[in-house]
Chains A and B, each alone.
Chain A
Amino acid sequence: MASVITRVKQKQIVQLIAKGKRLDGRGLMDYREIKVEQGIIERAEGSARVLLGRTEVMVGIKIEIGQPFPDTPNEGVLTVNAELVPLASSTFEPGPPDENSIEIARVVDRGIRESKAIDLEKLCIEPGKKVFVVFVDVYVLNHDGNLIDASALATLAALLNTKMFNYEIDEGEVKIKSGHTPLPMRRHPITVTFAKINDKLVVDPWLEEEQVMDTRLSMAIDDDGNICAIQKGGSGYFAPEEVLEVAKIAREKAEEMHKKIEL
């Protein structure tokens, strides 16, 4: 029964953090162990599985042909959906996406979209009529905290693994040719999430830290250290100085992550 955390443990976590340590031995600014696997679902055009500590997220990419949005007739379409699958946690109920899965999907989407990670213009087949639509489906398989970072990383890995079929236009119809082209990726945004616990900031909160935290702040950083998405989540608040400190550390952690994870 993972949903209720005992008071004793709550106190333990808070007291340790006040001393600069965490229950699992990490430093306040350390990530858990990260494992990334790509190409695990052959039927998908792209896929990846990320293990962040014990949090497990799988992302599948499907490419289809569809219509562009009216205000971006020359660009392909990106759409991100997240499912908090019931088997991932005793707190997830079956049903349509709730506010938590919608938030994860939209934050991941923002990081990819605003950083212009995908060269959407290269996905244009016929301006105003036909473009490639990239369906990103985030599947949370085990919830042990920090679903946002795990989902964002799995999404990035899956997109980098994605291959689109080659095509030619024959009499206005799209005909599939042999061969594949990798999805044109220009940037590699990394999302870093912080939890605030009793006025201390920690990176990559795991489930029990999330249960005691006051609030959290996620920032997506691109390859050049620019910020491309921010989302404060949960109740609670930040002082302006804390926000700027998070921005500074997020950029450092994103750089570290780029070097560590070779995608």
Chain B
Amino acid sequence: MSQKTEKLIDKKGLRLDGRKPDELRPIKIEVGILSNADGSAYIEHGKNKILAAVFGPKELHPKHLALPDRMVLRCRYHMAPFSVQERKSPAPSRREIELSKVIREALEPSIFLEYYPRTGIDVFVEVLQADGGTRCASITAASLALADAGIPMRDLVVACAAGKVDDTIVLDLMDTEDKIGTADVPAALMPNLNAITLLQMDGILTSEEFEKALNLTLEGCRKIYTMQKEALKAKYVSVKEVEE
């Protein structure tokens, strides 16, 4: 019995979890929660629970990895064995290696790498619980961790995915929708510069559908950006007081 006959959108136009097609899952973000890391952030996006930490800038060891004129950004995306339905081996999978690369490439353009040559920044992302859209939530959290570490940046990076489910373009796919749906388009955005730093797609879309999905995910990104900003400021607003 093929799962493909299961309907993902009901007669009222609502999805399996009751959301409308253009609705985001609930998001909760906290910045600066790890005491050892130079910067950190924690995000809950739907059932995703993801921790991001930043160490650096610091001298790179081994030294030959360092670049003479800029910082090197290293990124490790990793899923905890208990994060998915069937226990995942702790060894890095090919998917984790690819995601580590695309997440790094999504964050790099936002950092002023030229400021501190010969140093390195390590970004570690641990997915504690996964439910679709982990790479996007990881980028959103990692970008906050970078800002929390005082790394000079052009902009924050925020990410979101849209896709196609039952002939409808929807925003923010959860795991079931991702597996059974017909397309998934994750994208990362520097919102103030309107610059897309991550873009992938798997599935099939006509060019019109793709344009719709792209616009929807960028809209989703901007909505999440408001929450990202708030989470970052929340850590410092209590420090700063209106006085003088």
Contact = CB atoms under 8 A, between A and B. Distances in A.
Interface stretch (A4-12, A48-56, A103-111, A153-161): A103-111
A230 interface: yes
Interface in A96-135: 97, 99-100, 102-103, 105-106, 110, 113-116
B207 A247 contact: yes
Interface in A14-61: none
B161 interface: no
B196 A232 contact: yes
A84 interface: no
A228 interface: yes
Interface string B187-199: 0001001111111
A243 to B, nearest CB: 6
Given A227-B210, A232-B199, A247-B210, A237 B204 contact: no
Contacts of A110: 202
Given A99-B98, A102-B94, A235-B108, A243 B206 contact: no
- Contact residues on A (Cβ < 8 Å of other chain), bracket: 35 or more
Contacts of B197: 232, 236-237
Interface residues of B, number: 35
Contact of B196 (A100, A105, A237, A247): A237
Interface of A: 71, 74, 97, 99-100, 102-103, 105-106, 110, 113-116, 215, 217, 222, 225-240, 243-244, 247-248, 251
A17 to B, nearest CB: 20
Given A71-B3, A236-B109, A244 B211 contact: yes
Contacts of A251: 207
Interface string B166-191: 00000000000001000001000010
Contacts of A113: 202
